């Protein structure tokens, strides 16, 4: 289900999930009216450091039972890559992602080799 952004008159943004056919033009949350904000929906919000990073990469993840093996693999090869409990690597930046994918012989046809 897609996530949609809504802003109040002060610019505070909230995000809510709706079916595409049920998206309202505004929502009332706690007595405050939030109007749909298309700009916020298409803007990446930085979590920390560089905008958009860190990212949890599901595509290069492993089964949750293999998360420990993947952590050990990265450590053994001198990489400090965090791995979620679900087995997904969490890359801090482009360079780390590129190096980790290359180390594992992965090819991202949309981005890195």
Confidence label for 31 from pLDDT (cuts 50, 70 and 90): very high
The mean pLDDT value for 9-29 works out to 91
Q: What is the pLDDT of residue 47?
A: 44
pLDDT-based confidence at residue 27 (cuts at 50, 70, 90): very high
Please check the confidence at residue 87 and state whether its pLDDT lies above 70. yes
Check the CA dihedral 91-93-94-95 and report its sign.
negative
Q: Does this model's pTM top 0.75?
A: no
Helix ranges (H only) for 38-106 are 38-41, 67-76, 94-103
How many Å apart are CA 60 and CA 79, to the nearest integer?
Answer: 15
């Amino acid at each position: 289900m897609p996530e949609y952004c809504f802003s109040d008159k002060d610019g505070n943004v909230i995000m809510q999930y709706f079916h595409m056919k049920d998206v309202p033009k505004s929502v009332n949350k706690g007595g405050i009216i939030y109007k749909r904000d298309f700009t916020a929906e298409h803007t990446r919000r930085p979590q920390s450091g560089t905008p958009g990073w860190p990212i949890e990469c599901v595509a290069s993840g492993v089964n949750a039972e293999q998360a420990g093996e993947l952590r050990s693999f990265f450590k053994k090869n001198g990489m400090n890559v965090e791995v979620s409990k679900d087995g997904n690597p969490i890359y801090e930046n482009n360079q780390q992602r590129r190096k980790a994918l290359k180390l594992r012989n992965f090819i991202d046809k949309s981005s890195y080799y």
